[in-house]
Structure 1
Amino acid sequence: MFRSVRAVLFDLDGTLIDSAPDLGAAADRMRQLRGMASLPLNRYRPMTGSGARGMLQVAFGITPAHADYGSLKEEFFTHYTECLLQRTQPFLEVQQLVEVLRERGLAWGVVTNKSERFTLPITRAMPLFSTAAAIVSGDTTPHAKPHPAPLLEAARRMSVSPAECVYVGDDERDIVAGRAAGMRTVAARYGYLGAGADVAAWGANAEVTSPLELLNFLEVA
């Protein structure tokens, strides 16, 4: 049980929303335009948490060290912009979780490594985020996760101390960032996780297999 909690912060992709279908579609569109066979979503989904890097790795087997990575990344961003909200939806139970948090008097917010050019259109279009007290993107501060700066900025915007926050995410960098910020951390096992992820080794204070499980760990301040 986490005591004296006043706010809950969440990662975005893989924690609050399932954006894998749109991210995967953007990368797969690039394959199709090159006459390559389409890949099934289950090939893209485990790498969704890595954003463009993960999608291009699946689609073309390249890493950021590849000479064409920069141009391919920008092409990917163009295609993704065109389909941001075609298939993206909140995970099951997320809407209910947010409603219960508000009923308990807890503030909530988002800290994601997704850049503002994508985060803001998504969160402005989806009703889920209308009650979020803070939305911090990967380029809102000079540093992205696993640096604690974005989480500390979210706490500042919500007028709560980091020690009064819980941070929930589906990637090891989320847990690293949360711990560095002095927050309690929860690993979302229902998220993308990444290939071969050893969640138990991340060092989170708790793990959940569904969004509503989080409520079992929260004690209101």
Structure 2
Amino acid sequence: MRPFDVQAVLFDLDGTLVDSAPDLGAAVDKMRCDRGLPSLPLTDYRPFAGAGARGMLGVAFGMTPDHAEFAAMREEFFRNYESRMTELTRPFAGVADMLQGLRVRGLPWGVVTNKQMRFAAPLTRAMALFKQASCVVGGDTTPHPKPHPAPLLEAARQLRVPAAACLYVGDDERDIVAGRAAGMRTVAATYGYLGGSVDTVVWGADARIDSPLQLLDLLNRGRVA
């Protein structure tokens, strides 16, 4: 294990800081109901919530991005989601205390998500949890979303912290790929949407946490490995 001087912590949004699956699922399930199809339970949608429109339309309609109607269906989903983004979305248990722990340590933190800023900006503005966030970088803030390192490098630039001194926490393999490509240490959040259904060990993260507060334990030890 190697000591690591953390100067800032960056987080994925959906599945890492907040559980948005209920609102994402409801937005696409409305599309099913509007077409006379039976409603699906949230348990069907939850594992795919991190994949956004692609994941939700895949569950609800078996639709892939190469489908001729995908673009139109995606925009309908976006409109539905936009109208209810914060109805059921809540921080995961322990997230508020974890972020308070970062503040006590004087560590700036920010968000790097593949959610378009059309959604990421109003969502984070509407939730008190994000008032202390030093940056919010969306999937369209830079020319390339994750797993490209560009969004993470942009966040480091906004925080004025070297990328090598940042820690990135996410619940998807692309988060770990992006973080490593940006030269950051990475932490896999196994409590997120994919943690229970895939082998997160193969992602190659520097550490894994089963709850948000475990991140503070890592920082207390002064090492991530």
SS of residue in 1 equivalent to 2:169 = strand
Task: State the partner residue of 1:169.
Answer: 170
TM-score (structure 1 length as normaliser): 0.97
State the one-letter code of the partner of 1:201.
V
- CA RMSD, Structure 1 to Structure 2 (Å): 1.3
1:75-154 alignment runs, 5 A limit: 75-154=76-155
Asked if 1:8 is matched to 2:9, the reply is: yes
Q: Structure 2 vs 1, CA of residues 101 and 195 (structure 1 numbering), >3 Å: closer, same or farther?
A: closer
Q: Give the C-alpha shift of residue 67 in structure 1.
A: 1.0
Contact in 2 for aligned 1:49/1:194 (Cα 8 Å): no
5+ long unaligned stretches in structure 2: none
1:186-197 matches, cutoff 5 A: 186-193=187-194, 196-197=197-198
Report the secondary structure of 1:109's partner residue: strand
Which residue number in structure 2 is paired with residue 185 of structure 1? Answer: 186
Structure 2 residue identity aligned to 1:98: L
Question: How far apart are 1:197 and its partner, in Å?
Answer: 2.1
Which one has a larger percent strand, Structure 1 or Structure 2?
Answer: 1
Partner of 1:27: 28
Q: More displaced, 20-29 or 62-71?
A: 62-71
Question: 1:194 deviation in Å?
Answer: 7.1
Size of the aligned set, in residue pairs, is 220
Structure 1 stretches of at least 4 aligned residues deviating more than 6 Å after TM superposition: none
Distance 1:62 1:205, change over 3 A: same
Tell me if structure 1 keeps the 8 A contact 2:190–2:196: no
Report the CA distance between 1:198 and its aligned residue: 2.1
| Equivalent residues of 2:189, 2:195 under 8 A apart | no
Q: Which runs of 5+ in 1 are unaligned?
A: none
**Is 1:66 the equivalent of 2:56?**
no
Separation of aligned partners in 1, 2:145 and 2:93:
27
Aligned position for 2:40? 39
Task: For 1:161, give the aligned amino acid.
Answer: P
SS at match of 2:141: coil
Q: Do the aligned residues in 1 keep the contact of 2:187 with 2:205 (CA within 8 Å)?
A: yes
Residues 204/32 of structure 1: CA separation in 2 closer, same or farther (3 Å cut):
same
Per-residue CA deviation, residues 123-163 of structure 1 (Å, 9 max, x unaligned), is 00101100011110000011100000000000010010011
Identity of matched residues, % = 63
